[in-house]
Structure 1
């Protein structure tokens, strides 16, 4: 079991955080943003950044090449649908996409919005980790959490029409 601290400060003990989230054992802040037969999208549970979405496979796999043909099609369809909603609903102009195979979780993609405040940490991908840590440690306040929750609701409304 792993001990994981969520953005709301709650500590959970799970074998796999993604399995716990996609299986409904842990409710992500704001709930599920979008769900399909193969994927589960939710606000990142570790970093309170408006519009930071995790797209996780429901099946416990590690690598992109393990997706079935149906999952591949669903993945790109859902990824682009979420990205369009981020732009149209939240005004997010730029996003970093991260997917890694050396994770302790299973297959998932981070969709990290790029905001003006992040430029204090740099102008490229190397700025993302410091921005994430800044959000976790400095943006866990009522005002920002409300903005994150409002963004989740806006995305859910748009994506589930």
Structure 2
């Protein structure tokens, strides 16, 4: 078991944070953006960027090549639906997609929207970490969090959650 401090200040003791989120043991701030048989989409509001979405597998796996055929199809369909919703309801023009296999959580993909303010950190993949740190350290205020929650609600409404 690991003790993890959530973005809302609550501390939880879990074996795997992703399993706790996808099983419903922990409710993500703002709620579930989208859920299917195999995947769960939410936002980590610790990084308060409107439209940032994390798509996590419900099954505890670590690598892309561990997805079965049904999960592969569901995964690409989820990414596509979420991407269309990001464009339609939030006006997000560009998104960076990331997943890594050396994480303490299991298989999940980050969908990080690109906004004009982010380009001061660069336009390459190398700029994403500084952007995320800036958002976490400099943008965590009530007004910005309210905008993030509003964005989550718009996505949920578009995706019929």
Category of TM-score, reference length = shorter chain: over 0.9
Q: Aligned runs of 1:28-43 on 2, under 5 Å?
A: 28-43=28-43
TM-score, normalising length: structure 2 = 0.95
Q: Aligned runs of 1:4-153 on 2, under 5 Å?
A: 4-153=4-153
RMSD across aligned positions (CA): 1.3
After superposition, the C-alpha distances for 1:101-156 in whole angstroms (9 at most, x for unaligned) are 11110000000011111112112111110110111111110110010000000000
After superposition, the C-alpha distances for 1:31-56 in whole angstroms (9 at most, x for unaligned) are 00000000000012431111100000
Aligned mates of 1:66, 1:8 — CA distance in 2:
32
Aligned mates of 1:122, 1:8 — CA distance in 2:
30
Q: State the secondary structure of the residue aligned to 2:3.
A: strand
Aligned mates of 2:36, 2:30 — CA distance in 1:
17
Structure 2: 5+ residue stretches without partners: none
The answer to whether the Cα contact below 8 Å between 2:46 and 2:140 also exists between their aligned partners in 1 is no
Of residues 72-81 and 10-19 in structure 1, the stretch that sits farther from structure 2 once superposed is 10-19
1:7, distance to aligned residue in structure 2 (A) = 2.9
The answer to whether the Cα contact below 8 Å between 2:61 and 2:107 also exists between their aligned partners in 1 is yes
Residues 11 and 122 from structure 1, CA distance in 2 versus in 1: closer, same or farther, beyond 3 angstroms?
farther
TM-score, normalising length: structure 1 = 0.95
